Amino acid sequence: MIQQTAILIFANSASKEIENKPFLSFDAIAKLNSQTKAIVEKTKLPYFHFSENDQIGDCFGERFTNAIQAIFDKGFENVIAIGNDTPHLKANHITIANQELQSKSLVLGPSKDGGFYLMGLQKKHFIKSTFLNFPWQTAELQHSINKLISTNNLKVSYLSILRDIDSFDDVKSIISSFHKISSDLITALRKLIFKSTPFFSYFLPKETIFFFLPNFNKGSPNFCL
């Protein structure tokens, strides 16, 4: 049976990604990439990893859109796109997305920051010019996608909400959650917490600690000019 769905892993290498997320470590990002690949392989679906060496375009919107187009050009009817920064992503999320794409135009896995950790779509509803004009990596993305859904009367399926890693606070939340992640990854993330917390703060009462962990933001979006 010929597979109609392919997975797009849109994720940079650890050496490149650390430029965008300096609050992480090379080791943590490498572990995220490894876990993502292992999860995808469990689905038995064909997949393509587009790192910075494969991406074409001057900004995120161009690179992501071109990657989706490249997979559709290979003959697939559906694409499920994911990144590498959602530790709680499971093979089951992707499997369900694939099942839903048999009858739905679009499948979205919403993240807690208002974006999406997974996007599945049918080829017949992929309009390259529309995707290029989406306000990627901004708070307006969800609104734009909702407008597309409403305007075109698309059938949409939503997966469970997960947290992706865009800040140091996300790292702390991932560690303290009850969701299971690989032991290698949790070890790498815990090292970040230990490294960023003053050594003697562990031995002081909480009310005397006046040191704060660094607060990192996602940074300005990389708009196309």
The domain spans of the chain are: 5-158
Mention every residue, 6+ apart, whose C-beta is less than 8 A from residue 77.
Answer: 4, 5, 122, 123, 124
Nearest CA-CA partner of 154 in 95, 103, 82? 103
Q: Please check whether the domain covering 5-158 is classified as CATH 3.90.550.10.
A: yes
Residue 52 contacts residue 12 (beta carbons within 8 Å): yes
Return the pLDDT at 12.
97
Per-residue pLDDT at 108 exceeds 80 = yes
Report CA-CA distances (Å) from 172 to 21, 175, 192, 213.
Answer: 15, 5, 9, 10
Distances (CA, A) of 176 to 32, 54, 173, 215: 17, 35, 5, 17
* SS3 at position 114: coil
Is residue 8 over pLDDT 50?
yes
Kindly report the average pLDDT of the chain as a whole number.
Answer: 86
Look at the block and give the residue holding tokens 């993305």.
141
DSSP conformation letters of 57-111: SSSHHHHHHHHHHHHHTTT-SEEEEE-S--TT--HHHHHHHHHHTTT-SEEEEEB
Give the confidence band of 47 by pLDDT, cuts at 50, 70, 90.
very high
Residue 139 has pLDDT above 60, yes or no: yes
